[in-house]
C-alpha cells in the first residue's frame, strides 16, 4: 500500500480491485498488507459513503399478449410492449434502455446505420455500451434540423453515435427543407453532399423517435415557412412526422406536388430493411397509430399504457 495514499483513495482502490478486478478479500489482504477484518470494514465504508453504488437492474417485463394483438392488427413483426402506464419518467427510461439494448446487436450486424434527431435518439445513444466497430458508418439521411446549438441536433447525433462504437460517420451539410425547386433538385449533385447521400442509400438500419408537427413548429425558420414547406397540406390532417415528412392517421405521407425535404428519396428510406422506432410519450398516440397503419416502421418499442391508448384511438378514428 502506498504510504501517501489518503483514506478515501484507499477506499477507491479497494473497491476497484474488489468489484472491477474481482480480487477476493484474502487477495486484497495480501496486496494491501491489511487484515481481512479491515478490508471488509473498508469495503462496507466505501458502500455507505457513496464511493460504491450498487444498482440492481431487473429484466424489463413485457406484455406478450398485447404484442400478439398488435402483430395481428397491424402486421408488424418486431414489436416490444413493456409493462408500464405510459406516463411516468421511470417507464420512459425503461423504454429507452430496452430500445438501446435491442438496437445494439442490430447495429453490430449492420454496415451503415442512419440516424434521425431529437431527445429520444440522443437518450438511446447514451445507453449504448461502448464497443469497437471499425467497419460501421453512421449517417444522416435527411438534412439539418437547424438545431445547431443543441445536443440533439442532426450533425452532433451522428458524431455522438460514432463515438460509442469508434466508428466512422458522415454528415449532410444542408438544411432539412429547401423550398426553391431548382436549388432542391441540384443540391444532391454538390460534392459536399454527394458522398453522404450515396452512403445513406446503403442503410441497413435506421432508428428514430416518432415526431409530430410541433417538432417543425419548434424551429422558427420552419414554423414561419410551414405553408411553403408543405404547400396544400392541412395541419389538421397531420398525425405525425417521420423522416422529415408529415403523414396522416392512416399512415399516408402527405407529400405536396413536390417534396421539399433534402435527403435521399422517400422510397429509398422506406427500402431500408430495418426502420426502428421508439415512442415514450402518450402525447404521440395518434402519430404512432398512423405509423403502424402505414407500416412506416419495421420495429417499434413502447410501453403498455401507450399501447392501450393506440388501441382505443384505432376504434375512434
Please tell me the pTM assigned to this model: 0.79
For residues 50 and 5, give the distance between their C-alpha atoms in angstroms, rounded to a whole number.
19
Distance CA 145, CA 256 (A): 20
CA distances from 110 to 103, 106, 114, 134, 138 (A): 11, 6, 10, 11, 10
Q: Are 63 and 306 in contact (CB under 8 A)?
A: no
Task: Let me know if domain 64-316 sits in CATH 3.40.190.10.
Answer: no
List the pLDDT tens digit at each of the 317 positions of the chain: 556 788 998 999 999 888 888 888 888 999 999 999 999 999 999 999 989 887 656 567 899 999 999 999 999 999 999 987 656 777 888 999 999 999 999 999 999 999 988 889 999 999 998 888 889 999 999 998 876 555 555 567 899 899 989 999 999 999 999 999 999 999 999 999 999 999 999 999 999 999 999 988 888 888 899 999 998 899 999 999 999 999 999 999 998 678 999 999 999 999 999 999 999 988 999 999 999 999 999 999 999 999 999 999 999 98
Q: Report the half-sphere exposure of 111 (CA within 13 A, side-chain side).
A: 5
Amino acid at each position: 500500500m502506498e504510504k501517501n495514499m489518503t483514506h478515501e483513495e484507499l477506499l477507491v482502490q479497494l473497491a476497484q480491485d474488489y468489484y472491477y478486478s474481482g480480487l477476493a478479500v484474502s487477495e486484497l489482504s495480501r496486496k494491501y498488507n491489511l487484515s481481512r477484518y479491515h478490508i471488509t470494514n473498508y469495503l462496507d465504508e466505501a458502500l455507505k459513503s457513496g464511493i460504491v453504488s450498487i444498482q440492481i437492474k431487473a429484466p424489463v417485463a413485457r406484455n406478450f399478449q398485447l404484442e400478439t394483438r398488435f402483430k395481428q392488427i397491424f402486421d408488424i413483426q418486431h414489436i416490444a410492449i413493456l409493462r408500464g402506464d405510459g406516463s411516468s419518467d421511470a417507464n420512459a427510461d425503461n423504454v429507452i434502455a430496452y430500445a438501446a439494448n435491442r438496437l445494439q446487436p442490430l447495429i453490430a450486424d449492420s454496415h451503415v446505420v442512419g440516424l434521425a434527431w431529437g431527445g429520444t435518439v440522443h437518450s438511446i445513444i447514451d445507453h449504448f455500451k461502448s464497443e469497437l466497430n471499425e467497419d460501421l458508418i453512421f449517417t444522416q439521411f435527411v438534412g439539418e434540423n437547424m438545431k445547431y446549438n443543441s445536443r440533439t441536433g442532426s450533425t452532433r447525433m451522428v458524431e455522438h453515435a460514432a463515438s460509442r462504437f469508434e466508428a466512422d460517420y458522415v454528415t449532410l451539410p444542408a438544411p432539412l427543407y429547401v423550398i426553391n425547386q431548382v436549388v432542391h433538385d441540384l443540391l444532391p449533385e454538390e460534392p459536399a453532399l454527394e458522398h453522404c447521400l450515396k452512403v445513406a442509400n446503403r442503410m441497413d438500419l435506421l432508428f428514430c423517435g416518432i415526431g409530430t408537427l410541433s417538432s417543425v413548429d419548434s424551429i422558427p425558420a420552419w414554423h414561419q415557412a410551414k405553408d411553403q414547406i408543405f404547400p396544400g397540406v392541412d395541419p389538421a390532417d397531420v398525425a405525425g412526422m417521420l423522416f422529415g415528412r408529415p403523414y396522416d392517421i392512416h399512415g399516408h405521407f402527405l407529400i405536396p406536388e413536390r417534396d421539399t425535404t433534402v435527403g435521399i428519396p422517400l422510397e429509398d428510406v422506406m427500402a431500408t430493411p430495418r426502420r426502428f422506432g421508439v415512442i415514450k410519450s402518450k402525447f404521440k398516440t395518434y402519430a404512432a397509430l398512423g405509423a403502424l397503419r402505414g407500416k412506416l416502421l419495421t420495429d417499434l418499442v413502447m410501453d403498455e399504457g401507450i399501447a392501450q391508448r393506440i388501441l382505443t384511438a384505432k376504434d375512434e378514428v
